[in-house]
Amino acid sequence: MSSYRLPWFIVLWSVLSPLPGTAAWFDNYQTYAAYQQKLGEYAATYPTLTTLSTIGNSYEGRAIPAIRITGTGSAEVAKKTVYLNGMMHAREWIAGMVPMYIADRLLTGYGTDPRITSVLDNTEFMIVPMSNPDGYEYSRLTNRFWRKNRRPNGDGSVGVDLNRNYGYQWGLNSGSSPFPDDETYRGTGPFSEPETVALRNVALADQDVVTHIDFHSYSQLILSPFSYTVDPAPDQDLLVQMAHTMADSIQDMHGKIYEWDDPFLYLASGTSIDWMYGDQGIYSYTIELRPTSSNPGFLLPANQILPTGQEMFPAVLDLAEYTMQLAGGDFDVNDRFECADIDRLVRGIVLGSNKAELDLSGDGLLDGLDVVDWLARAGRANLASQASYLPGDANLDGSVDGVDFNLWNSNKFTSLPSWCGGDFNVDGLVDGSDFNVWNAYKFLSADSIVQVPEPALNLLLAGLVAAGVFRRTAF
Ligand code: 0X9
Ligand code: ZN
């Protein structure tokens, strides 16, 4: 019951001032043409931060636009990509507005908001807000509840469900339909549709994609791979941990609960997240946006566009920060650099991994340079100096000593792609050449790397050259 009043002009100013994302554009659902125009405005207003492109054309020939956004500051890690796409399903209108809102907030916040600035200086965003433009225009103008694309199927029916058309476990009758008339019709073959080809090619062309969100509505859920089976994904713990973090941030904004602890909804095969994760090793999510249930379902009122975008934005920043953490070598995102991380890297190099974050050096190859980069980063973090771990330091305690010899000795002559088990030259075998690495550095401590960086690097690389160099895209 305060008698204090703000002057009228302050009240008016605060209502009308352009706070982030309050522009009229997000007060209503927009046409395909308006999306195109807005993306053009972003590119014109922020030329140093953006790259506008067309990733392909829809069945009816509409351009599928994309905007790449990244900062101009210096990166602490080799930049990895966060890939967002939206509105694969035509009637899920909010799922196109949210990625536009995210682009808006990134661009308007860069250089003023420290969190956004750090995220953009250390990652890239690839944003495809409207994945199914033909379906969207049809939903807007003719049939509001249209879901699929607009390909004529030849039997009088129209449309393929793009989220059953991806080429990982495509064609299972559990979770997709062979009948053209059905809402979950999977098409005549994997990637038979120009829209899914375009969306796939983004990930194939950019081998630095680490994380991905495919926005849908509705139900308020964060779903992760796999959707074709109830079996847990190999990275289930990590996927669920990141989902939990995102759900907490969403709830902090406006109190909305997005379920995260049951990544499995119903069987769906040929989904985007299954291909992104299963084929490309990308940590991928379907986020089902507002509302919770069929009333109002797809007909989410336009006054909920902004709050839905606002609650999603911090979750996307969380995912981008996880991406940075992964790109920095903390592969299990537990805030520690330990054996689990370097062993994951060594196994990835020796056995062939499709995980972009393992390419720490950012040169497109998984090889000894990534190990050297990891040893340097981990040493700096763990030893709190300019020190780097030395080859031969199996237990990562900062010195090459008898404990490391014992680790090598207990595994010697086994096939074990494990740094911490003694595979110091990263060739998959614990053998005499690893002993030679240990021997060359024995009784040196991590600080010595400052004096002898070259031999350390050379020894490691010699082993790797002998073992062959692994190109990530080959897998
Ligand atoms: O069925 C779909 O494609 C998605 N739901 S929607 O209502 N937007 O159509 C869910 C895809 C992910 N599915 C599972 N994790 N089961
Ligand atoms: Zn959907």
Any idea where the domains of the chain sit in the sequence?
2-327, 339-474
- Atom 3 (ligand 1) nearest CA: 163
Residues 277-308 pLDDT 10s: 999 999 999 999 999 999 999 999 999 999 99
What backbone phi and psi angles, to 5 degrees, belong to 95? Answer: -75, -10
Distance 301 CA to ligand 1 centre (A): 21
Which tokens is 236 given?
């289930």
Pocket test for ligand 1, best of 91, 216, 239 (most atoms within 8 A of CB): 216
Cβ atoms of 471 and 366 closer than 8 Å = yes
Distance 343 CA to ligand 1 centre (A): 35
Superfamily of domain 339-474: Dockerin domain (1.10.1330.10)
- Residue of 124, 137, 195, 288 marked active site: 288
Neighbours of ion ligand 2 (CB under 5 A): 89, 92, 216
H/E element, 114: helix 114-122
Q: Which atom of ligand 1 is nearest to the CA of 224?
A: 15
pLDDT at 380: 87
Report the distance separating Cα 3 and Cα 5, nearest Å: 6
Distance 268 CA to ligand 1 centre (A): 7
Q: Which atom of ligand 1 is nearest to the CA of 147?
A: 9
Residues 363-411 pLDDT 10s: 898 988 899 889 989 988 998 777 788 889 999 999 999 999 999 999 9
Report the distance separating Cα 459 and Cα 424, nearest Å: 9
Report the distance separating Cα 445 and Cα 401, nearest Å: 9
pLDDT at 326: 98
Q: Which residues pair with 429 in a beta bridge?
A: 415
Digit-by-digit pLDDT tens for the chain (475 residues) are 343 445 545 444 444 444 444 469 999 999 999 999 999 999 999 999 999 999 999 999 999 999 999 999 999 889 999 999 999 999 999 999 999 999 999 999 999 999 999 999 999 999 999 999 999 999 999 999 999 999 999 999 999 999 999 999 999 999 999 999 999 999 999 999 999 999 999 999 999 999 999 999 999 999 999 999 999 999 999 999 999 999 999 999 999 999 998 877 889 999 999 999 999 999 999 999 999 999 999 999 999 999 999 999 999 999 999 999 999 999 999 999 999 999 999 999 999 999 999 999 898 989 888 998 899 899 889 987 777 888 899 999 999 999 999 999 999 999 999 999 999 989 899 999 899 889 988 888 776 654 444 555 565 665 554 444 333 332 2
Residue recorded with tokens 């340097």:
376
Residues 179-234 pLDDT 10s: 999 999 999 999 999 999 999 999 999 999 999 999 999 999 999 999 999 999 99
Q: What is the pTM of this model?
A: 0.92
| DSSP codes, 349-380 | HHHT---GGG-TT-SSEESHHHHHHHHHHHHH
Distance 217 CA to ligand 2 centre (A): 6
288 is catalytic: yes
Distance 206 CA to ligand 2 centre (A): 25
Cβ within 8 Å of residue 382, ≥6 positions away: 337, 396, 398
Report the distance separating Cα 87 and Cα 54, nearest Å: 16
Pocket, ligand 1, Cβ cutoff 6 A = 89, 92, 163, 216, 223, 227, 265-266, 268, 271, 286, 288
| DSSP codes, 257-322 | --B-S----S---S-HHHHHHHHH--EEEEEEES-SSTTTTT---GGGHHHHHHHHHHHHHHHHHH
Q: Do domains 2-327 and 339-474 have the same CATH topology?
A: no
Four-way CATH pick for 2-327: 3.20.20.70, 2.40.270.10, 3.40.630.10, 2.60.120.590? 3.40.630.10
Looking at the CA of 161, which ligand is closest? Answer: 1
- Atom 5 (ligand 1) nearest CA: 216
